[in-house]
Amino acid sequence: MTPLPPGSTIGILGGGQLGRMLALAAAELGYRCHIYTPEHDSPASHVAAATTIAAYEDETALTGFATSVDIVTYEFENVPAATAALLAGLTLVAPSATVLGVAQDRVREKDFVAALPGSVPPYRAVASLAELEAAVAEIGAPAILKTRRMGYDGKGQARLKTAADCAEAWAALRGVPAILEGFVPFEREVSVLVVRGWNGDMAHYGPVENSHDDGILSVSRVPATVSPAVTEQAVALARRIAGALDYVGVLGVEMFVVGDTVLFNEMAPRVHNSGHWTTEGAVVSQFENHIRAICGLPLGCTDTVGRVEMRNLIGEDALRWHDLLSDPQARLHLYGKADARPGRKMGHVTYVQRD
């Protein structure tokens, strides 16, 4: 593709912190960003050149948005498929609406990866209590029932210790289409962030080692404490997925490590929380590389500059901003959210120990 020249406008669907950090990186390269979000006073809108506040189903607003930008990308992947299709008919969209369709659905993404082939935990699509009971009989317990769509940060999940928990788990998810996954007794969780350009050039960050609290990412560290064999498998799987999807932009791939084996968990068709450390800890950040990739610019170097730790500031953690800054090595990022509700990602802090 012909590179989009600086001065062009990038449309971003979603107004959260990922959009905010994308818009900041885009501004450094001389681009303008136009945010599309249903939310008032969104973190991304504070740093963008323009914002449209409208529903993802508002065709008039979407058409106006599409005609005012040179390309559209996402910071939030759970937009309706019809929204992505409408935009794709009017302007360039990256990653593509097809990729979005795969990544929005936990069954489709696992089918896709399993067919590559890539290792995935045992899983079954379930659409009724009877199907759930049959799936538990096949896969065994313990297991995890997850909604096929719209799940994030451990939401929309129910754990089954034994087959006797089926009815309770099915009721907890309120009968929406779901996926049952065998419980993986993992030693670690890692992610690899791949960036891929229109011409197929690829680079990656990671593996990153991630710890979660209550299903929400708490800490990311690089380098991950994994064997060279695990690193090779994790990177190869993530790159294979990006290539097979003909992906453009940054793709986050989350995996479980069991012994010397890597199992796919899920992918996010956007910049990823486990890559926030790249702003200070890599030569070129995931945010800048996403912008470079979608705009058809050469990809930047993804090398790390040392040992890095990123801590998410959840809810009231962010009220400690003054204390956190008393460590001169701390790089603090706050997302401009007014209300520090429990479980809400308010900011993050990064520590880099240079090589």
Residue type, 28: E
Q: Is 144 in the site for ligand AMP (CB under 6 A)?
A: yes
**Residue selected from 184, 190, 226, 255 as contacting ligand AMP according to rule CB under 6 A:** 184
Closer residue to ligand AMP, CB minimum distance, 144 or 235: 144
Query: For 103, what's the count of Cα atoms within 13 Å in the CB-facing half-sphere?
Result: 25
Question: How many angstroms separate the first and last alpha carbons of the chain?
Answer: 37
Residue 215 found at the interface with ligand AMP (CB under 6 A): yes
Count other Cβ atoms within 10 Å, centred on residue 211: 12
Does residue 18 bind ligand AMP (CB under 6 A)?
A: no
Compute the distance between CA of residue 263 and CA of residue 133 in angstroms, rounded to an integer.
Answer: 24
> Which residue's CB is nearer to ligand AMP, number 45 or number 265?
265
Using the minimum distance from each CB to ligand AMP, give the nearer residue, 230 or 291: 230
- 265 touching ligand AMP, by CB under 6 A: yes
- Interaction between residue 252 and ligand AMP (CB under 6 A): no
**Residue 49 DSSP class:** S
What minimum distance in Å lies between the beta carbon of 217 and ligand AMP?
Answer: 8
Window contacting ligand AMP (CB under 6 A); options: 6-14, 76-84, 182-190, 342-350: 182-190
Binding flag, residue 289, ligand AMP (CB under 6 A): no
What are the Cα distances from residue 126, in Å, to 19, 82, 170, 343? 34, 24, 10, 29
Nearer to ligand AMP, 4 or 190 (CB): 190
Cα 178 → chain centroid: 20
CB atoms within 10 A of CB 68: 14
- Number of neighbours of residue 355 by Cβ within 10 angstroms: 8
Query: Who's near 290: CB < 8 A, 6+ residues apart?
Result: 22, 25, 73, 195, 249, 250, 270, 271
If binding is defined by CB under 6 A, does position 109 make contact with ligand AMP? no
Nearer to ligand AMP, 194 or 294 (CB): 194
Q: Tell me the torsion sign for CA atoms 206, 325, 18, 301.
A: negative
189 binds ligand AMP (CB under 6 A): yes
Residue 213 near residue 155 (C-beta atoms within 8 A): no
| Nearest distance from C-beta of residue 265 to ligand AMP, angstroms | 5
Closest residue to ligand AMP, based on beta-carbon distance: 184
Supply angle C-alpha 117, 119, 124, rounded to 5.
100
183 binds ligand AMP (CB under 6 A): yes
Size of the site for ligand AMP (CB under 6 A): 13
CA distance 240 to 218: 27
The mark string for 117-136 relative to ligand AMP (x by CB under 6 A, - otherwise) is: ----x---------------
Contact 206, 222 (CB under 8 A): yes
Q: What span, in angstroms and rounded, lies between the C-alpha atoms of 339 and 345? A: 10
Supply the minimum distance, in Å, between the C-beta of residue 142 and ligand AMP: 8
Please, which residue, 11 or 151, has the CB nearer to ligand AMP? 151
With contacts defined by CB under 6 A, name the span among 4-12, 76-84, 181-189, 278-286 that binds ligand AMP.
181-189
Q: Is 151 in the site for ligand AMP (CB under 6 A)?
A: yes
Rule CB under 6 A: which residues touch ligand AMP? 121, 144, 151, 154, 181, 183-184, 189, 212, 215, 254, 265-266
